[in-house]
Amino acid sequence: MNPIFRTSSRFLVVAAAALAATFGTVYAAGESAPASAPGWHGAHHGHGPFGMRRLEALHAQLHLTPQQETKWQDAIAAMKQNREAMHANHEKMRQEFSAARQQSILDLDALHAAHQQFQEQESQLHEKTATTWLAFYDSLNDQQKTTVSTAIKQQFAKMEARREKMREHWEHHHHSGAASDAAPAQ
C-alpha cells in the first residue's frame, strides 16, 4: 500500500474516531456500559461517567437553538440505534465463528463471505452515524463550531499522548526483552 495513502487513511480514521468520541459515543456508552467495563467500553476510554459529564458540558456550552437541539437528538437516537445494531452484528459474527470451530473442516470461503458481509454492515452503520453527526455539526454557527473544534483537538491530543505512551511502553518492553534474550546463560 502506498505510504501516503496509508497515512491519509490513518488520519481519516483518527478524525472519525475523534468526531464520534466528541459527539456522543461516550454519551450512549455512558448510559449502558458500566464505568469499569473492560476494553473499549470502560472508563479508561472515556466512556464512563467522566465521558458523560464531558459530553454534557460540551452540549451545555453550545447553547443550541431548537432546530440544532433536534439535530442533536436525532444524531443521538441514530447513534444509539446503530450501536445496538453493531452489537447484534458482533454477536451474530461471534456465533458464526463459534459454530465454524465445531466443524472438522473449516469452510474458509463461507467464513470470508460472512466476514465481508459483517464489515459492509458495520461500515454502513458507521456512515449513518457519521452522517447524522455531520448534519448536526453543519447546523452550528462559527462560534459553536469553534467550541466543538477545540473539544476535538483536545481529543486528538489525548489520543496522540496515549499512542505515544503505548509506543514508549512497547519499545521499553521490546528492548528489555531483547536485552534479556541476548544475555548469555551462565
- Looking at residue 170, its pLDDT comes to 92
Handedness of CA 129, 132, 136, 137 (dihedral sign): positive
Structure confidence at residue 160 (pLDDT): 93
Low-confidence ranges of the chain (pLDDT < 50): 25-50
Other CB atoms within a 10 A radius of the CB of residue 18 amount to 19
- Give counts: helices (H), strands (E), the chain: 6, 0
Domain-wise residue ranges, the chain: 3-157
Scored b (16 or more CB within 10 A) or e, 126-147 reads: eeebbebbeebbebbeeebeee
**What pLDDT is attached to residue 181?**
57
Q: What is the pLDDT of residues 42-82, one digit of tens each?
A: 333 444 434 557 778 888 999 999 999 999 999 888 988 99
CA 180 – CA 172 distance, rounded (Å): 12
pLDDT of residue 16: 54
Predicted TM-score of the model (pTM): 0.64
What pLDDT does 90 receive?
A: 93
Residue 161 CB-density burial (10 A; 0-12 exposed, 13-18 middle, 19+ buried):
exposed
pLDDT of residue 30: 40
**pLDDT given at position 44:** 39
**d(C-alpha 7, C-alpha 66), whole Å:** 39
Which pLDDT score, from 0 to 100, does residue 177 have?
Answer: 62
Contact 158, 50 (CB under 8 A): no
